[in-house]
Amino acid sequence: MSKPKPPLIGITAANDPRMPEHYLLRWDYVRGVVAAGGIPVILAPTSGLEIKAVLARIDALVLSGGGDIDPASYGGSARIKPLLANPERDQFELELVKRALDLEMPLLGICRGMQVINVACGGDLIQDIEAERQSPILHDDPLRPRDRIAHEVSILPGTSLFGMVRRERIAVNSFHHQAVDQLGAELRISALADDDLVEAIEHPQLQFVMGVQWHPESLCSLGAPFSTLFDEVTRQASRMMHA
């Protein structure tokens, strides 16, 4: 009997305007997928790329972190100067998400990736936490190592995330100055920071669509609950392959 094929997990890369000749992706996203038993496929944001053809060749989608989403993507005006915004990446990832949702493809959004899911579903963003919300929590510290815990979040009972991690509280790392504001249609909040900032969202009507504001890829070596997110998106991809 032949061994089941591992699923192909697409991971979006960034195109940083400071280095226009490079596509960028941290190695820990790739290693998180490999450790979970998937085959990583790096997706470079490219104008004019046939999104349907891309999604037809992968079994799940992981949206990586990166720069700000241009407020024009959600009909807003810039209250601050967006950091490392790139309209090409915005357009690419928003279209990926909309079509992936139509296909009910397993989808995991990390940091910026969670924000992309929210915008794709009609939501909007807090453009700068420090300017728009007073909080005792430092959500973005550029000097903090990526595997250093920043604060705790509460996982809401009854959510898919709670069913996965089986904990009411987890400690997370944190590197973001933007956050979910108005929640997108059909999404629900699944985790909150102690300052009530949204830390995780999910789509309760679909099998696996989840976004988290922290960076589990940088904590996968610690095991659950961080590796759990990569394990689950890979498991769901395998399930759909053999459905």
Q: Domain limits of the chain?
A: 8-241
Task: Note if 220 is an active site residue.
Answer: no
pLDDT at 225 over 60: yes
Residue among 111, 202, 220, 232 flagged as catalytic: 111
Residue among 93, 199, 217, 232 flagged as catalytic: 217
State which H helix or E strand residue 118 sits in.
Answer: helix 112-120
The pLDDT, as a whole number, for residue 169 is: 97
Question: How would you classify the pairing of strands 107-110 and 169-172?
Answer: unpaired
**What is the Cα–Cα distance from 173 to 152, expressed in whole angstroms?**
9
104-124 mean pLDDT: 98
Task: Note if 217 is an active site residue.
Answer: yes
Percent of the chain whose predicted confidence (pLDDT) is above 70: 98
Percent of the chain whose predicted confidence (pLDDT) is above 90: 74
Nearest to 62 by CA among 185, 179, 237: 237
The pLDDT, as a whole number, for residue 145 is: 92
Q: Are 211 and 110 in contact (CB under 8 A)?
A: yes
CATH tag for 8-241 (out of 3.40.50.300, 3.40.1360.10, 3.50.50.60, 3.40.50.880): 3.40.50.880
The pLDDT, as a whole number, for residue 19 is: 75
- Tell me the β-bridge partners of 109: 63, 211
Q: How much is the pTM?
A: 0.95
Residue among 199, 215, 220, 232 flagged as catalytic: 215
- Intra-chain end-to-end CA distance of the chain, in Å: 18
pLDDT digits (tens, 9 = 90+) for 18-41: 777 788 899 999 999 999 999 999
The 3-state secondary structure of 128-169 reads CHHHHCCCCCCCECCCCCCCCCCEEEEECCCCHHHHHHCCCE
The pLDDT, as a whole number, for residue 128 is: 92
Cα→Cα distances 199→126, 160, 196, Å: 13, 14, 9
5-15 mean pLDDT: 94
